[in-house]
Amino acid sequence: MDYGEIQSINLARLLREGGSTEARGQIAGKIELGNDTIVLQDVVSWRVSVTAVGESELWLSGEIAGYAMMECRRCLDPTPTLVRAYFQHMLRYQPGLEHLEAIEEDDEEVFLFGKPDLELSPFLSEAFALELPYTALCQEDCPGLCEYCGANLKRAPQDCCPERSQKGKEGKLAVHLKKLDLEGIE
């Protein structure tokens, strides 16, 4: 998330009068979480709802959805990957608190905040990052990289290097497995 465009919601009215409020927006370019950066294909849309549930306590719920750019697990090409995340958190207002703080209370996580303008970026970026898949695949039949020269087989000819053209479609592993004597092994 570009911190020049901090996503926030003002909860002053909610803290005084109760009720609920909503906000929505978009994030472009990237989402940052600590030292990690998630590059986005296009804009990511988000929406949140905050409801007063008690004195100084609020319930935050929301969703964030869009495409993250990940490397294909076979060919390493940039691959747009759909991410849709939902989140819910209990919030408690403590005037004067400088930074968002998470505490454990009755086996529940509660976020403490001290200013009526609640910064949403930590909630949005964490939810988005947690829903990223471990790997992405650009297409189901992606041929990957040549096991000999590393060429991307989607763009390179099937005989991209001498080793590949000599071995045909068998890779190194298949050649080595044929050499193994597996008789007598139980």
pLDDT tens across 85-111, in order? 999 999 999 998 999 999 999 889 999
Pairing, β 108-113 against β 101-105: antiparallel
pLDDT at 177 (0 to 100): 63
The domain ranges of the chain are: 3-130, 143-186
Residue 1 and residue 30 in contact, taking contact as beta carbons nearer than 8 Å: yes
CA torsion, points 7, 21, 83, 29, in degrees to nearest 10? -20
pLDDT in tens, 48-94: 999 999 889 999 999 999 999 999 999 999 999 999 999 999 999 99
| Confidence (pTM) | 0.80
Across the range 123-137, mean pLDDT stands at 96
pLDDT at 184 (0 to 100): 65
Residues 6 or more apart whose CB falls under 8 angstroms from that of 163 comprise 148, 149
For residues 70 and 180, the model is more confident at 70
pLDDT at 22 (0 to 100): 94
